[in-house]
Amino acid sequence: MITDPWFYACAVVAVLIVGIAKGGLGGGVGIVGVPLMSLTIAPVRAAAILLPILLVMDAFALHAWWRRWDEANLRTMIPGAILGTLIGLATFRMLSNDAMRLLVGIMALTIAIAWYVGPTNVAAKSSSMLRGTFWSTLAGFTSFGIHAGGPPIQVYLLSQRLDKSLFQATTVAFFFIVNWLKLPAFAWLDQLDLSNLSTSLILAPLAPLGIWIGRVAHDRIDERAFYHVIYGSLIIIGAKLIYDGLR
């Protein structure tokens, strides 16, 4: 089990941020979890420690947003999630964490900048099997490496201009499925050893606290401000991931 106090200082903040994101702020800011923990341990180990905690968070978040998701969107996204997870498993030892950070960081910055400088009267897009499969495959792939599947899903769902609660519930349901898909793969790759699981157990009580804070924040923020939080966080996160990848 990890005993380094600096690790726990980073990990506590990381887990709370991820929980708040899952609880009510769209999930995108949650991709800082692994990078924050990676300040003191290897990124692959950080992802392994965080996965069981994500499963606990998913259970609480799914209960909070039960049956409020968009079933049509989920039907277009689940096949891609399965495909992306399989690609992530097949390429796990081929792609570096830095390459993954660069990919996600560039994508996050592009999404956010396009929203801030783009036209405000763009018509909302509808659910699409083709687009849904593409973006959910990318989300499954990036989620497998460093739990950073939020930006691709935001591209797909935010383009539909969903109500903030519908968006949140659909995101929660999607990543509930994705994270359970990753569990047997992580076990097969020997990432869920006793040391990692013991560390996850110590941090797990923070999961419901983060979800509760996020749920309360969701109910107290207006929709326009909600999207500013989402896209503003993507700029910060994208810049951080690009910096880490290049360094």
What is the model's pLDDT at position 29? 63
Written as six digits, the tokens of 192 are 């869920």
What is the model's pLDDT at position 122? 54
pLDDT band, very low/low/confident/very high, at 236 (cuts 50, 70, 90)? confident
The mean pLDDT of 124-138, rounded to a whole number, is 84
What is the model's pLDDT at position 223? 62
Could you read off the pLDDT of 6-52 as tens digits, one per residue?
899 989 988 998 888 888 776 666 777 887 787 788 778 888 999 99
What is the model's pLDDT at position 119? 57
Q: What is the pTM of this model?
A: 0.79
What is the spatial distance between Cα 140 and Cα 136, in angstroms, rounded to a whole number?
6
What is the spatial distance between Cα 168 and Cα 61, in angstroms, rounded to a whole number?
10
Question: Which residues does 62 contact at the CB level (< 8 Å), separation at least 6?
Answer: 172, 173, 176
What is the model's pLDDT at position 162? 82
Written as six digits, the tokens of 42 are 């290897």
What is the model's pLDDT at position 76? 92
pLDDT band, very low/low/confident/very high, at 91 (cuts 50, 70, 90)? confident
Most confident by average pLDDT, 95-99, 158-162, 231-235: 158-162
